[in-house]
Structure 1
Amino acid sequence: MAESTNENLEMVQDMISILPDEILQLILEKLPLEDAVKTGCLSRRWKDVWKYITRISFESSWVESTGKEIVPSLDHFVSLHQGPKVKCFSFEMTYELNMADQVNSWILFAVKKNVERLCLDFDVDRVNYELNTEHDPCYELHSRVFTCESLVSLTLRFCRLKFPDLFHLRYLRTIKLWQIELPDKTLQKVTSNTPVLEELVLIECSRTFDFYIDVAPNPNFHTLEIVEELSEVHSWTVIEINAPSVRKLVMCQCMPRLEYRIKNISQCHEVRLNFDSMFGAVQVEENGGFRDYEDILLKLLSNFKHARTLRLCNWCIQLLSVREVRKFTGSLSFSCTHLDLYTCFQMWETPGIAYILKACHDVENLVILIDEYDGHAVLQIYDVLTLYDFEEISKFWRNEDYSLVGHLKNLKVVEFKETREEYHIMNNGTFELHTFFKERELGMHLVDLLMENADNLKCVVFSSDKQQHVIYRKDVDVVDKV
């Protein structure tokens, strides 16, 4: 049996070896780079195949797998590569000042090979995280990157950008800048010279001064994503956004700035806010407490009245709940037709959900994305929570019935979606509402409220990644059971 198995393995290996080089290269590009290089030891046929691969990625797994440092390994790899083309070139390392010449040689290698996707991470271990790329020692990106005609995607982390007088990246579609200081006019200059740019992602950029995000008008541009942490951004700084062509605005992680000024996003039809990393942050109290953040959030939301799609996170909902309990909410109004709400369906989210529903009077599609309850996902404002009897949720919703009259007249479809993987909403093909919400009383009351107040409601959908159950409004018997 052992001899037979060995013969079969040899036969399979021989069958693969007779494939054309182009096919073998495609096979190797599906493997981690360290495994692809090892195939050179299989036989004389495989000796040089890896030298022609077009996807080159030196990540932390290289060191873990080979025990060799990235810098000498990359030098050696570049010297041996024989292919005419590199589609993707990326590395992760912690930059040191004596590496400049080596890094420049790698970049020139990639540019000469007509690289399409370039991803350079100079602070993989976050050793330089507290440094500022505007005045602290760091790598200055080689100017040839800005004249690379083949470049489609560019990702940079912790380096200094110094632009040549003239540059034009005619095919660049995606830019991701991470941990880089971007002085005034920097983004205006970049986006003015990238005529087909579609997506701009800014992660932890310009943390120590006011951040001006000025994106040149461009009919191809659709997504602006801003990701910020709370601890490293100076809390007295502001963000100003001028992106007249942007169609989707995403703001993630935290809301650390004193103010968010939206100058022009006139074409923006989709806004997504996910600040759930604010939960439990000590800096929230140090920076002035939740009341300041309530004001900042409300002012930010007021800029998105005309968005057609609005997605709000659990933290936003809870902050609006606190504001509503204090009767300080004020009147906001949104024109969105599609509304996504992330919620754990806990009692303290009740007033916030009600407020948002009343503010979105044109909504046609409502999606409630149910997160698994996390004990840390609660605003630490116990003095405020005790002011309101959250336990009487049914009484609260009875009072809301009157205030919601006329606000949900356009609502047609509601979906409650469990976000956990492998979550099954039906057992043995049978759906039960109580089982779906699993003692989340708020969800039960919300279903009743929507059924009673949304006169044009067509159906309510209960779903997970694996299953779906639909209750149609016209099905009177099923609705009665609900």
Structure 2
Amino acid sequence: MEKKRRRKSGGRNEEDRLSDLPDGVLLYIMEFLPTRQVVQNSVLSKRWKNLWKSLSTLSFKPFYGIRKYNKSLSHIFSNRDHSVPLHNLHLTKLTLSIDFKFKEMPNSFVSLIFNCQSLTFLDLFISSSCFSLKLPPCLLLPSLKTLNLSNITFTARDNDCVEPFSTSTSLTTLVLRHSLHHHSAQTLCISNPTISTLKLENMVHSNTFIPKIVLSVPNLSSFTLENSHSSMCYELSSTCHLPFLKEVKIDNRVRVHSSIIINWLALFCNVRTLTLSSHTLYIFLKDFYLGTMDIQPPYFGRLKTFKIEMGFNSYMISEDEVNTVLEYLVQNCETTNVDVIEC
């Protein structure tokens, strides 16, 4: 005969009806609670200790301390039973640093992340140099405001072009790093009417092709471009004049002809504050001395402040050389009252 679980209460035994419920019923109840609370309560019963690992719905609410929050997420994702399909994911913030072991996790987990309706902040960093996370062609994240992606691969469509961000209708900040591989789409279209801050850092992770990046971000106010890899090269273009652009920073440490940088600057001719690194200035100087500067700088109609960010190579550039480059770059400005600041 099946034994009933009983507990003492006030000097008499009471039947533990909750623990007698089938696993399926207990899991159904647990899915209505925040997952962190379910995991914490699992210590109350030996039977519950591993039962939470079979949850098919995970729900997270932010609590004080982002490190503690991310540690909790990591513990739950790494210890759940991955043979059980994950059907629903409810969270607002997610930061994951993923190593090569992540490729053993089911694709359904990745799909749920990029279709999470409640997610407002997402930071994914793939730490393995030989593995990248493959993004779906379209990110269905209507609540997402901030997106940081490192070492990911964009899934190309039939025309070898991908436009993953257009359906994230609340997105304001986008940061992309190491995200154009040899097996990525050759044309990345960053199209979104709400993005105001965009940073591209060492985008190309392959020297087998020259990808294209097309910007369609009419509300862009801040843009940063950082290149430090020797294989870095891509075509950059824009479908609009970026009328709300306030600040642009370019730090290029790759040996390219200065005409490429001039073409980049021409896209941002409506900028108010322009910051160039000393590494970028040094590229202009080389072409000055080689006599290959045969292109006019863009017309900056609204430029007010020109900043020079002095790096570790600043000792290689004299003040006169800095002034030579500056005079060349601002010769077509609407106003001659441009503040030059070394920082």
TM bucket normalised to smaller: 0.5 to 0.7
* SS of 2:94 mapped into structure 1: strand
Q: Would you say 1:226 and 2:186 are equivalent positions? A: no
What TM-score, normalized by structure 2, do the two folds share? 0.62
How much does 1:195 deviate? 1.0
Task: Label 1:351 to 1:325 Cα distance change in 2 as closer, same or farther (>3 A).
Answer: farther
How much does 1:137 deviate? 7.7
Work out whether residues 91 and 119 of structure 1, in 8 Å CA contact, stay in contact via their aligned partners in 2: no
**Structure 2 CA distance, aligned partners of 1:108 and 1:415?**
54
Structure 1 equivalent of residue 149 of structure 2: 177
How much does 1:325 deviate? 1.6
Root-mean-square deviation (CA, aligned residues, Å) is 4.3
Q: Would you say 1:150 and 2:125 are equivalent positions? A: no
1:143-193 per-position Cα deviation (integer Å, ceiling 9, x unaligned):
3323422210112233233468xx742211111221111033699653222
**Structure 1 CA distance, aligned partners of 2:148 and 2:85?**
20
1:360-413 per-position Cα deviation (integer Å, ceiling 9, x unaligned):
2577xxxxxxxxxxxxxxxxxxxxxxxxxxxxxxxxxxxxxxxxxxx97313x5
**Structure 2 CA distance, aligned partners of 1:251 and 1:170?**
26
Report 1:73-222 matches (<5 A). 85-87=60-62, 90=70, 102=81, 111=89, 114-123=90-99, 140=107, 142=109, 143-156=111-124, 157=126, 158-162=132-136, 168-184=140-156, 189-208=163-182, 211-218=186-193, 220-222=194-196
Task: Label 1:150 to 1:235 Cα distance change in 2 as closer, same or farther (>3 A).
Answer: same
Structure 2 equivalent of residue 58 of structure 1: none
**Structure 1 CA distance, aligned partners of 2:208 and 2:121?**
32
Residue identity in the other structure for 2:282: Q
**Structure 2 CA distance, aligned partners of 1:107 and 1:90?**
19
Report 1:163-312 matches (<5 A). 168-184=140-156, 189-208=163-182, 211-218=186-193, 220-228=194-202, 232-234=205-207, 236-245=209-218, 246-254=220-228, 256-267=231-242, 269=245, 270-276=247-253, 278=254, 290=255, 292-312=256-276
**Structure 2 CA distance, aligned partners of 1:248 and 1:334?**
19
Structure 2 equivalent of residue 338 of structure 1: 305
Task: Label 1:147 to 1:84 Cα distance change in 2 as closer, same or farther (>3 A).
Answer: closer
Task: Label 1:52 to 1:354 Cα distance change in 2 as closer, same or farther (>3 A).
Answer: farther
**Structure 2 CA distance, aligned partners of 1:194 and 1:145?**
13
Bigger relative CO (Cα 8 Å, ≥ 6 apart): 2
How much does 1:253 deviate? 3.5
**Structure 2 CA distance, aligned partners of 1:86 and 1:151?**
11
Structure 1 equivalent of residue 30 of structure 2: none
**Structure 2 CA distance, aligned partners of 1:141 and 1:298?**
44
**Structure 1 CA distance, aligned partners of 2:223 and 2:335?**
26
Unaligned runs of 5+ in 2: 1-35, 40-48, 127-131
Structure 1 equivalent of residue 44 of structure 2: none
Task: Label 1:416 to 1:215 Cα distance change in 2 as closer, same or farther (>3 A).
Answer: closer
**Structure 2 CA distance, aligned partners of 1:148 and 1:272?**
32
Work out whether residues 190 and 213 of structure 2, in 8 Å CA contact, stay in contact via their aligned partners in 1: no
Work out whether residues 121 and 146 of structure 2, in 8 Å CA contact, stay in contact via their aligned partners in 1: yes
Residue identity in the other structure for 1:318: Y
Structure (1 or 2) with the greater strand fraction: 2
Work out whether residues 138 and 160 of structure 1, in 8 Å CA contact, stay in contact via their aligned partners in 2: no
Residue identity in the other structure for 1:254: S
How much does 1:84 deviate? 7.3
Structure (1 or 2) with the greater helix fraction: 1
What TM-score, normalized by structure 1, do the two folds share? 0.46
| Alignment length (residue pairs) | 269
1:184-207 per-position Cα deviation (integer Å, ceiling 9, x unaligned):
369965322211110111110122
**Structure 2 CA distance, aligned partners of 1:297 and 1:358?**
13
* SS of 1:154 mapped into structure 2: strand
